[in-house]
Structure 1
Amino acid sequence: MKVALLTGGGDCPALNAVIRAVVRTIENAGGETIGFLEGWRGAIEGNFTPLKACETDEILPKGGTILGSSRTNPYKDPALVEKILSNFKELGLDALVAIGGDDTLGVASKLYSDYKFNTIGVPKTIDNDLSSTDFTFGFDTCLNTVMDAVDKLRTTAESHRRVMVVECMGRHAGWITAFSGIANSADAFMVPERPTLLDDVCELLKRRREAGKKYGMVLVSEGATINYKDANGNVKTVDLSQTGKKDDFGHIQLGGIGKQVADLIKSKTGIETREVVLGHLQRGGSPSAYDRVLGTRLGIHAGRLALKKDFGKMVALRGLKIVAVPLAEAVGQMRTLPEEFLDEASEFLR
């Protein structure tokens, strides 16, 4: 069997763990693997590199992906889809393992439904927002990165008696912000799932300062829904789409919500407030032990699905087991933060 791999969308820690595990599993069965470079762009252009088990052991601790990535969408042009099909046939491939998030796996799912293309998906996103799996690899490392950054910011916030607003990734789901907020005992955090009235946060920060806490930590998702009252008491909403730019999949480029929130907190409380945008720092670094193990397990089971010719599936974590679910089911709905986490965190946000 000859299997191709690709990594698409935003990078994250433990992508290389998946690659290593798929290569080892296929090679153990007498097959061979290649890696398309830069996601779907490589599949379109036929740009690839051979992958050998003996050359992939050392990639396990490396962040990012040795194959490179891109946000290329082949379905923008039917001719691009035809190129993928043609390259697949010309290279004599039997299966394609697509490692990515909702957009990457959405393409894989559509190729399977439209052409019975032999695809298998592996869920990847630091946002942890893919349905059908309990957790995605990369999420744990991201949380540890945010936690470490906020721990460091706390000391300077306390020294200068400031409020620090930390902008985290999370377009539609607040997993990163909520879990990091809990782990860092944040005074408040704001997520897309539950609208926040910023005036309430400002009152909380003032009450805590009056009670003796001379600094504040506030975490906000880049896609959070935040309302506030203007000077006339009218309720307005913080703008999320300041740039107006869109990627190949039609997503508006987010960013800048942290500064808006910081400016509003300062104007409403009179407390010196600064913002920090963690940005792509959250995607980088060596994967945690948890993510190395999860990525490895998912890669092994993806390789086994290929060997069994069980296509149109995605490997997923359910409890402690790795299971196979239909790709169409996996990309059909985004998994947002359950209400129970917000209710539990509310004990510390009063």
Structure 2
Amino acid sequence: MRVGVLTGGGDCPGLNAVIRAVVRRGVQEYGLEFVGFRDGWRGPLEADTMPLDVSAVRGILPRGGTILGSSRTNPFKENGPGRNGVDRIKDNLAGLGVDALIVIGGEDTLGVAARLYDEGIPVVGVPKTIDNDLGATDYTFGFDTAVNIAMEAIDRLHTTAESHHRALIVEVMGRHAGWIALHAGLAGGANVILIPERPFDIDKVVAWVEHRFQTRYAPIVVVAEGAHPAHDDLALTSAELDSFGHVRLGGVGQLLAEEIEKRTGKEARCTVLGHIQRGGTPTAFDRVLATRFGLHAVAAVYNEAFGTMVALRGTDIVRVPLVEATRELKLVPVDRYAEAEVFFG
């Protein structure tokens, strides 16, 4: 059997660990052959491949990013003259002698994989997103690394905030789900945490900031990029869309800083962590989880358990239907953290 491997969507710490585990177990235990597709779904669309054997994955465990490259290409939007995206992928897989695909990605990439499985392409999925918002798995690799990076940034910002008596706003990733903001904010001792699941009241945010200043300590506000006000009093998004129809986010932190400074008279500064959260070496937790996902994904291919995704349930790795993996996002249940001494907007 010849197996194709691709990584799609945003890069994520732990992707290389998955690739390494897939190839090493697949070659050494199952006698499979592998080919890597470059840059997400663009690879099978254009038959753009790279060799993928044991020597190619040697030494990549601690590396961030993905040796295969990634993109947000959507095959169902690739309808050129003659053949649509699905037909092009089918033809290219047949021409390359690829019998199955292992697809490593998040909501959008796995959503494409589920639709391609319905079109007759043998697919196994591996969940990847630093947002930790895929509903069929308890955790996704990359999330722990992103939280630790954000937590360290918050720890460092506490000292400069207190030295200059400023309010500091930390904007982290999280389009629909506020898991990174919540965990990093709790771990870093933030005073205000704003998440997409609960629209915030700017008046309350300002009141909490002022209260913090009254205690002679400088406030730290952690906000997910997808957080939004309860009322349309702040314009937070652009009209630009990606190939999956997502609005480009960013800017909520700066707007909050401007509003807080205007209303309190105190200096406010915003730090946007952005892609820093995605980069660099993965934590031990993410390396282990990604490796386990890779080992189980290649076993699923060998067992011809197509149309499934590997998932973490408790401490076990299980197989779930791909359609289940992309049916519903896992959002923060705010009531779960009601006992924590933290403000939600």
| Same topology, TM > 0.5 | yes
Q: Distance in 1 between matches of 2:91 and 2:284?
A: 39
Corresponding residue of 2:326: 331
Greater Cα shift, 120-129 or 22-31:
22-31
TM-score normalized by structure 1? 0.94
- Aligned counterpart, 1:231: none
> Alpha-carbon deviations, 1:218-262, whole Å to 9, x = none?
0111110224xxxxxxx5442221x32111111111111111111
CA distance in 2: counterparts of 1:103 and 1:137, whole angstroms = 16
Is the 1:190–1:226 Cα contact (8 Å) retained in structure 2? no
1:152 matched to which residue of 2?
Answer: 156
Match status 1:202 vs 2:196: no
Task: Give, in whole Å, the separation in 1 of the partners of 2:255 and 2:241.
Answer: 21
* Equivalent residue number for residue 75 of structure 2: 74
The corresponding residue for 1:348 is: 342
Q: Unaligned 5+ residue runs, structure 1?
A: 228-234
The question of whether the paired residues in 1 share the 8 Å contact of 2:193 and 2:342 is answered with no
Match of 2:288 among 289, 293, 312: 293
Aligned residues: 339
Q: Does 2:25 align with 1:51?
A: no
Aligned residue type for 1:303: V
8 Å CA contact 1:305, 1:311 repeated in 2? yes
Q: Matches of 2:15 and 2:260 in 1, distance apart?
A: 38
Output the CA distance in 2 between the equivalents of 1:46 and 1:52.
18
What is the rounded CA distance, in whole Å, between the counterparts of 2:130 and 2:336 in structure 1? Answer: 18
- Give the CA deviation at 1:207: 1.7
What is the alpha-carbon distance in structure 1 between the residues aligned to residue 257 and residue 92 of structure 2?
50
| Distance in 2 (alpha carbons) for counterparts of 1:63 and 1:257 | 27
One-letter amino acid of the counterpart of residue 261, structure 1: L
Matched with 2:236 is: 240
Q: SS at 2:59's partner residue? A: helix
Amino acid at match of 1:239: A
Equivalent residue, structure 2, for 1:93: 98
Is the contact between residue 222 and residue 240 of structure 1 (CA under 8 Å) also seen in structure 2?
Answer: no
1:274 to 262, 269, 274: 269
State the partner residue of 2:250. Answer: 255
> Match of 1:12?
12
| 1:211 CA displacement | 2.3
Distance 2:232 2:52 in 1: 53
Q: CA deviation at 1:210?
A: 1.5
> 2 CA distance for matches of 1:236 and 1:333?
26
Further displaced range: 50-59 or 182-191: 50-59
- Range moving further from structure 2, 200-209 or 280-289: 200-209
Whether the aligned pair in 1 keeps the contact of 2:9 and 2:40 (CA below 8 Å) is yes
What is the aligned-residue RMSD (CA, Å)?
1.2
Select which of 299, 311, 315 maps to 1:304: 299
SS in 1 for 2:129: coil
Distance 1:252 1:211 in 2: 39
8 Å contact from structure 2 (residues 135, 326) kept in 1: yes
- Identity, % of aligned pairs? 51
Shift of 1:201: 1.8
Q: Using the alignment, how far apart are the partners of 1:291 and 1:185 within structure 2?
A: 23
1:283 is matched with 278
Work out the CA distance in 2 between the residues paired with 1:15 and 1:220. 26
Following TM superposition, by how much is the alpha carbon of 1:294 offset from its aligned partner in structure 2, in angstroms? 0.2
Deviations 1:61-100 (A, max 9, x none): 0000000000000001341211110011111111100000
Q: What 5-or-longer segments of structure 2 have no aligned partner?
A: none
Which one-letter code corresponds to 2:124 in the other structure? I
Q: Provide Cα deviations, 1:24-62, integer angstroms capped at 9, x if missing partner.
A: 121021111111000000110001111111331300000
Q: Which one of the candidate residues 108, 111, 116 is aligned to 2:116?
A: 111
Residue of structure 1 in register with 2:135 after alignment: 131
2:223 matches 1:225: no
Runs of 4+ in 1 over 3 A off after TM superposition: none
